[in-house]
Amino acid sequence: MITNEILYLAQEGNAVTAVTDFVREWPNMWPSLWLGTMDTVYMVWWATVVSVLFGLPLGVLLVATDKGGLIPAPAARAVLSAIVNIGRSLPFIVLMVAVLTLTRFLVGTTLGPTAAIVPLSIGAIPFFARLVETSLREVDRGVIEAAHAMGTRKSTIVGKVLLPEAMPGLIAGLVMTVVTLISYSAMAGAIGGGGLGDLAIREGYQRFNDHYLWATVILLVVIVQIAQSLGDLLVRRLSRR
């Protein structure tokens, strides 16, 4: 019993010491952590923008070209669905390596946050497209049929009926995409993508500095919580309307 108590006190003392050292080192780590955080936000922001610009129309097309959709085209939908499925099936770490040539062609380099936006966007577009498709399918078909019976143009039905009715689900899907992109951005650090993931690998893993590992994990959790909380708040407000 005495031995167990001594071991417990020793472990507790080590934990307190570790936390104290972490707090003491925080001011020294903060400049690098701040830059890493800004790089992560930069990557996620622009990858989200690209994902919405391409994923939203793609999701709309998946619904519109389906049987019974606004512009039924089973063959075209089969091709689009296959492309989306292939894009979603690739592990992100493999995708980053596979598109290195394309990344170099588009941005002139394969290193840094700007280069990481390319694979992040390619990985997120099919993911967001499927979420858009799911949200649009939840819209009451009676509303769409009523608009169609009134002679409303198909493009107007999409812009004025389908998308507004599905807006809470679309925002929820966008938040899920952002959270996924934050996770992907951390993995981008494995090939020099910058951000907190790169900082965790270079300063934490390669230099055996646990303080950087803890700090990057904490910051990534904080970023995810902020994005999720803001998204949930917006979804609740849109749902009430």
Q: Residue 17's pLDDT is what?
A: 66
User: Within its chain, how far is the Cα of 148 from the centroid?
Assistant: 35
Q: Residue 15's pLDDT is what?
A: 55
Confidence tier at 32 by pLDDT (50, 70, 90): confident
More confident residue, 29 or 212: 212
Spatial separation of the C-alpha atoms in residues 70 and 84, rounded to whole Å: 20
In this predicted structure, the answer to whether residue 173 has a pLDDT above a threshold of 70 is: yes
70-127 pLDDT, tens digit each: 787 888 888 988 988 888 888 888 888 888 888 888 888 888 888 889 999 999 999 9
38-68 pLDDT, tens digit each: 999 999 999 999 999 999 999 988 888 888 7
Q: What is the mean pLDDT of residues 9-15?
A: 49
Q: Residue 26's pLDDT is what?
A: 62
In this predicted structure, the answer to whether residue 150 has a pLDDT above a threshold of 80 is: no
In this predicted structure, the answer to whether residue 225 has a pLDDT above a threshold of 80 is: yes
Q: Considering only 7-16, 155-164, 183-192, which range has the smallest mean pLDDT?
A: 7-16
User: Mean pLDDT across the chain, nearest whole number?
Assistant: 81
More confident residue, 8 or 187: 187
More confident residue, 182 or 30: 182
Q: What is the mean pLDDT of residues 147-151?
A: 69
Q: Considering only 19-28, 162-171, 226-235, which range has the smallest mean pLDDT?
A: 19-28
CATH of segment(s) 29-240: 1.10.3720.10
Question: Over the Cα atoms of the chain, what is R_g?
Answer: 23
In this predicted structure, the answer to whether residue 177 has a pLDDT above a threshold of 90 is: yes
For 46-104, give the DSSP string. HHHHHHHHHHHHHHHHHHHTSTTSSS--HHHHHHHHHHHHHHHHS-HHHHHHHTHHHHH
Q: Residue 9's pLDDT is what?
A: 40
Distances (CA, A) of 17 to 10, 12, 30, 79, 214: 10, 9, 20, 59, 15
In this predicted structure, the answer to whether residue 8 has a pLDDT above a threshold of 50 is: no
Please count the other Cβ atoms lying within 10 Å of the Cβ belonging to residue 174.
23
Report the range out of 150-154, 208-212, 232-236 with the highest average pLDDT.
232-236
157-168 pLDDT, tens digit each: 777 778 888 888
